[in-house]
Amino acid sequence: MYFAGVDLGGTKIAAALVDRGRNVLSRIQVATVPEEGVKAVISRITGSVKALVDDAGIRLQDVAGICVGAPGPVDRDAGTVLDAPNLGWRSVGLAAIVARELGRPTCIENDANAAALAESRLGAGVNSRAMLYITVSTGVGGGLVLDGRLYRGARGGAGEIGHITMVPNGPLCSCGSRGCLEAVASGTAIARRGQELASRPAGRTIAAIAGSGPVTARVVAEAARQGDPTASAILREAFEYLGTAVASALNLLDLDAVVIGGGVSQVGDVLFDTVKQKVAVLAYPPEAAARCRIVPASLGTDAGVLGAACCAVEEYS
C-alpha cells in the first residue's frame, strides 16, 4: 500500500510517494506556472502523481490515497482551496478533480498544517504532545499537533497564528485586517520596515547593502549581521512580536514544543533568543517556559511535501 503527497506552491509543485512507514520511494518537482490557469496546474499535479507511480514501478491502483497540501485556507470537508492569492485561486474544488482524474481517493490540507504534521512525525517535534509549528517567510503560517494529532478546528482552519492581532490599528495585513502577527513579523514586514528606514541616515547601512535592488528581509538580516543597530532593532522588534504570540499560544495550549521554520527563521540565534526571552517573561505559570522546547524546524523545504504524504498515510491507512 502506497500514499502520495503533493505540495502545491506558487512557484513549484513537489510530490512524493511513500509507504505506510513514511519511507520515500520516489519524488518529483515541477514548476507550477499558475498564470496558465487552474486546469493546467491541476494537470501538472495529476501528472506528477502518475510520474511518481511510474518511477517506483507500481500501479496507480496501489496508491491508497493522495493528499495535496495547498496554500491559504482550505475547506477540508469539501476538498476546496478557498483562497490562494499566489495561485490566483478562489474556491477551487481541487480534491474532487484530482480524485476523478486519477481514480484514487484524494484529500487536501493547508500547507502549514501539513508541514506541522511532518515536523511532528519526522522532524524537530517528534515525541511532543502539544506542538505549535510556525513558518515565518513572506507570510506567517502555523499548524497545531495536539495529543499527537493534527488539530484542524471545526473546518480545517486552525493554527492561523499569523492572523492574531498584535497591534490594534497597526500595519495592513494581507488578510485585510490590521496589525496581525504577519503584518509585523513576516519577511514582508521586516522588508517594509527596512525600506522605510533606508532613506534616513540611520538606515544607510541597509541602503548600502540593498544597493540598486529592493530592501528585502535578507538585506536587513545581513545589515544586522554586520552590526548595524537599525537593522538589529528592526529584527528584534519583529521577533519580540513573534515571541509574544508564541507565549500567548503557550498559555492557551500548554505547549511542550514550538517548532519554527520558514526562510526568516534562517537568521538563527537572534530570532530564537528573542522569542525565548519573551516567552520566559510572559509564560504562565512561569515554569511553562522551561517545559516548552523552542527549536528550529529540521525538514526545511521538504516539510510541505513530506507533510502531505504523512496526511495521506493517516487518512487512508
**Closest CB 246 distance from Zn ion, rounded Å:** 17
Q: Does 180 bind Zn ion (CB under 5 A)?
A: yes
Q: Cell numbers at residue 128, please?
A: 511532543
CA distances from 10 to 34, 41, 83, 285 (A): 7, 10, 13, 41
User: Residue 173, interface with Zn ion (CB under 5 A)?
Assistant: yes
Region near Zn ion per CB under 5 A, out of 3-11, 135-143, 166-174, 187-195: 166-174
Residue ranges in 263-292 that form contacts with Zn ion under rule CB under 5 A: none
Give the three cell numbers for residue 125: 517535534
Secondary structure (3-state) at 299: coil
- Work out how close the CB of 85 gets to Zn ion at its nearest, in angstroms, rounded to a whole number: 12
Q: Which is nearer to Zn ion, 33 or 172 (CB)?
A: 172
SS3 260: strand
Residue 174 Cβ vs Zn ion, minimum distance, rounded to whole Å? 6
Residue nearer to Zn ion on the CB measure, 173 or 289: 173
Q: For Zn ion, give the closer residue by CB, 173 or 231.
A: 173
Quick one: which segment of 107-115, 137-145, 161-169, 306-314 binds Zn ion (CB under 5 A)? 161-169
Alpha carbon separation from 144 to 57, 151, 210, 257 (Å, rounded): 35, 5, 36, 10
Alpha carbon of 137 to those of 119, 183, 190, 262, 301: distances in Å? 17, 12, 10, 5, 12
> Contact, 234 vs 193, CB < 8 A?
yes
The tally of CA atoms less than 13 A away on the side-chain side of residue 179 is 6
- Of the pair 177, 216, the CB lying nearest Zn ion is at 177
Residue 164 CB, nearest distance to Zn ion (Å)?
8
In the complex, what is the shortest distance from the CB of residue 173 to Zn ion, in angstroms, rounded to a whole number? 3
Stretch that binds Zn ion, among 21-29, 52-60, 156-164, 196-204 (CB under 5 A): 156-164
Give the one residue of 164, 175, 253, 295 binding Zn ion; rule: CB under 5 A.
Answer: 175
Q: Which is nearer to Zn ion, 156 or 162 (CB)?
A: 162
**Residue 181 or 259 having the CB closest to Zn ion:** 181
Query: What cell numbers appear for 143 in the block?
Result: 499548524
Q: Name residues contacting Zn ion, limited to 71-130 (CB under 5 A).
A: none
- The residue from 86, 177, 232, 301 that contacts Zn ion (CB under 5 A) is 177
3-state secondary structure of 86: coil
Which residue from 9, 110, 25 is spatially nearest to 63, judged by alpha carbons? 25
For helices 94-102 and 38-56, angle between their N-to-C axes, nearest 10 degrees: 40
Q: Which three cell numbers stand for residue 116?
A: 506541522
| Binding-site member from 22, 27, 152, 163 for Zn ion (CB under 5 A) | 163
d(CA 255, CA 252): 8
Q: Which is nearer to Zn ion, 152 or 163 (CB)?
A: 163
Number of residues lying near Zn ion (CB under 5 A): 5
Give the residue carrying C-alpha cell 500500500. 1
Q: Which stretch binds Zn ion (CB under 5 A): 8-16, 167-175, 219-227, 272-280?
A: 167-175
Q: How far apart are CA 256 and CA 254, in angstroms?
A: 7
Residue 95: CB minimum distance to Zn ion, A: 26
Residues in contact with Zn ion by CB under 5 A are 163, 173, 175, 177, 180
